[in-house]
Amino acid sequence: MPQKAQVAGAVKRQRRATFQRSGSQQTKAALAQSATALWRTNGYAATTVADICKAAGVSRALFYFYFPSKEDLLFEVGIQSTRAAQDLAAKLSNGDHPLETIIHRVLDSLGRSMARNPADLVVETVLEGYRRQHRPAADPRTEPASRLFTDVFVRARADGRLAAEVDADHLSHLAQILVNEGARHWASGAYGEKSYADAVSADILALVAGFEAAAAKRD
């Protein structure tokens, strides 16, 4: 009997934990959706935490339980908006597609995501990512795992599409700088009629060619 009671208690605790996680995800999703809608309509700077809480139907105390500041929510929304591009990069890296095809398709996915938002919101998201990278305790999602092309370059090097001597980690780091800076330039209209994917993929492919050329010289 005591054993059955222990099992029942464990099941009850597990159900409670599952319910709490579900509620947490729903609340965070509601805050992210409400904030994004307000930012697109009123602008990032003009939208307050109180505005977001009112739209999401949650208290300020609950907002600050999940997000220490509006900037933290912005970063979370930015992570969510790049998820489709990251998933696509992971999927394509497992195939035998040419590097230029993978890079362009991933950047096109990211560009379409950015196009749904006003330019100032894109810029604010990029700048918040930079600020987090330079904090003493950086958010782990700003580290190598969040780079779009790490897996792509590692796998390309493994199967011979990229020279074995190329430092894939350093290459992915520099490529991510081009991704981020390209987003800022695109948002400011610096590329004119050229798409984000066309402009940034050309820069990344030039970077890859430079790494390949340096590797050939070392041979």
Give the list of residues 6+ apart from residue 33 with CB closer than 8 angstroms, or none. 56
Kindly report the number of other CB atoms within 10 A of residue 123's CB atom. 17
Kindly report the number of other CB atoms within 10 A of residue 137's CB atom. 6
Q: Please tell me whether residues 74 and 50 are part of one structural domain.
A: no
**pLDDT band of 36, cuts 50, 70, 90:** very high
- Per-residue burial over 70-100, b if 16 or more Cβ lie within 10 Å, else e, is beebbbbbbbebbeebbebbeebbeeebebe
pLDDT value of position 216: 87
Q: Please tell me whether residues 121 and 189 are part of one structural domain.
A: yes
**152: CATH:** 1.10.357
Which of 42, 67, 92 is the C-terminal boundary of a domain? 67
Share of the chain above pLDDT 70, in %: 84
Q: Please tell me whether residues 137 and 206 are part of one structural domain.
A: yes
169-183 pLDDT, tens digit each: 999 999 999 999 999
pLDDT value of position 6: 53
Helical segments of 94-118, H only = 99-114
Which of 27, 49, 67 is the C-terminal boundary of a domain? 67
Q: Please tell me whether residues 178 and 148 are part of one structural domain.
A: yes
Number of domains forming the structure of the chain: 2
Q: Please tell me whether residues 81 and 19 are part of one structural domain.
A: no
Q: Please tell me whether residues 184 and 196 are part of one structural domain.
A: yes
Does the pLDDT at position 21 exceed 60?
no
Q: Please tell me whether residues 103 and 156 are part of one structural domain.
A: yes
106-151 pLDDT, tens digit each: 999 999 999 999 999 999 999 998 888 777 555 555 554 468 999 9
176-210 pLDDT, tens digit each: 999 999 999 999 999 999 999 999 999 999 999 99
| Phi and psi, residue 122, nearest 5° | -60, -45
Q: Phi/psi class of residue 57: alpha, beta or left (left: φ > 0; alpha: ψ in -120 to 50)?
A: left
Does the pLDDT at position 157 exceed 50?
yes
Q: Please tell me whether residues 63 and 79 are part of one structural domain.
A: no
61-94 pLDDT, tens digit each: 999 999 999 999 999 999 888 999 999 999 999 8
Total residues found in the chain within this entry: 219
pTM for the predicted model, two decimal places: 0.81
Q: How far apart are CA 54 and CA 22, in angstroms?
A: 21
Q: Please tell me whether residues 49 and 74 are part of one structural domain.
A: no
Domain of residue 30, residue span: 1-67
Quick check: helix, strand or coil at residue 43? coil
Which of 23, 44, 67 is the C-terminal boundary of a domain? 67
